[in-house]
Structure 1
């Protein structure tokens, strides 16, 4: 019998026998090694999860049996302002903790909010949208993003005051990408070298990290959220198959914020735009607010190309290359005012000394 077939039988058997623990038993494939030792193989540990909690997320998750549909729909509309959303069949935290592109699952519960979105997959904590984090104001915010195909792991915790307490992003290809704040108790043994990656093939290069990201990822998920995808179930683990989530299909964005570093932000909020403008010249070289159809606004920091240092160059195009205009401003506040006004189509946003240019 193949590993895949055995894993499938195990999942079906364990769901009948072990309930909540089936998410651990049913996703392990056990294979007899050459020495008779038993090894396990992951069948797909993936998460794209953001949680807001009043205190302990694990405790709130145990009581998350029914979400507020109206509040959930309103939340998603705020996350992606102006985007057309289509409600689809409800899902669960177990099945939809890593949604496909174009889908989003969420639930607003008493003391707990859950968001699962492809946008949160393989994301550095520093790139999580400020507009999404702002929805967790006054609450503990947890990000967990893990992908078994690339051995990618990122997690982060923000306090009730919005300050970052801990963030980590690692993968074997890129190494330690982000490592901020004091390490949490569940991490310490990994950094101390007590969870090395065993490599039975002496001809292969050693694993480039002192631990396997997915092993740490499961412990992080258990400690921060009270459940696991494939790890050993923590005591009192809730049955995440019984935690419902509202499903939404996302239509194509009408606005996209592109930036010199980081993935594009679809349907950005004013807070998202303002935060990215604030990084021009300090991490970002340029921003483009693309409205589609040759309509866009872009800005670049000075000191590069033909832009004088200390200047920010803003350009807009109005549907045709012959309608391309430029102005230079001296402060990020000016750039932010222009971008926010353009996004909201406010009167007077373009009251600047624009010069028509041909490009």
Structure 2
């Protein structure tokens, strides 16, 4: 039986300026988020989010999908808002390695290179139909002393263009074989200067910090707890809900208990649900889905969506589409309030004080 669009959805199509076929999803325009718009019909419109807060426009080796092509990928999906991450830890410029995981011993070192390429691309190719937020990814959390000076350099070269920091690594076990070292408690104490600068600018910071691993479930948790205790007034986003490929067997109840305790204790902490490891190893595991849905509904104002797509030259739109779908799959099970906060961008707009608003969900 053919399904007919309700009036609200037809209006949203007109607002977005998009044509629609019977089976094609309705993708709203950027302008449709600037004021009151037609309600969001969850039966007919996609469950993938309108915001991708964790998107790496630059890869580890610098050989990237062109900036405009990545933007085209977004325009072909529901995404209209995105964080433009580089990757702050890059392989040597003269290295033939493209994936650090296959090159143990090759250093992956913090650098400003990717951030400046992203900024130059934004100046030259800023899109009209997307809202992009540039992020500083250069920071070495185990050597924080140069950070404030480099932030000032960024502001001098690209005034008013950067509004986020991260993804930066507190502890990332995947790079231990590439000379990455976890920040120490002493290092974290030395963040005070740049964390104060972030507060003054009202910039969020996204931190990759593994909770632990399969041998020791909470081995590195004290590092993130110390960062939160020392800098409780900073807007911190904990990437991937603290999970990594080194930790695929943490019990959902224990994971949720850790996150709930810290969210309750630190009101400026947020989580991102980027990286398909969460869907593949946690959300979709037997008996887990309902637990995580209840958690996300309860803390819906503290969650940000993201794909964690990396724009390696050999990746494609199909890869981005697949990553976006996998990392968004749990969103279809959320209640309407949580869906609006997370998938429809209300949390993101509020976090950055953007002049946009999420549509109401159709009743």
TM-score by length of 1: 0.23
Structure with bigger RCO (C-alpha 8 Å, 6+ apart): 2
Max Rg structure: 1
Q: Which has the higher helix share?
A: 2
Q: Which has the higher strand share?
A: 1
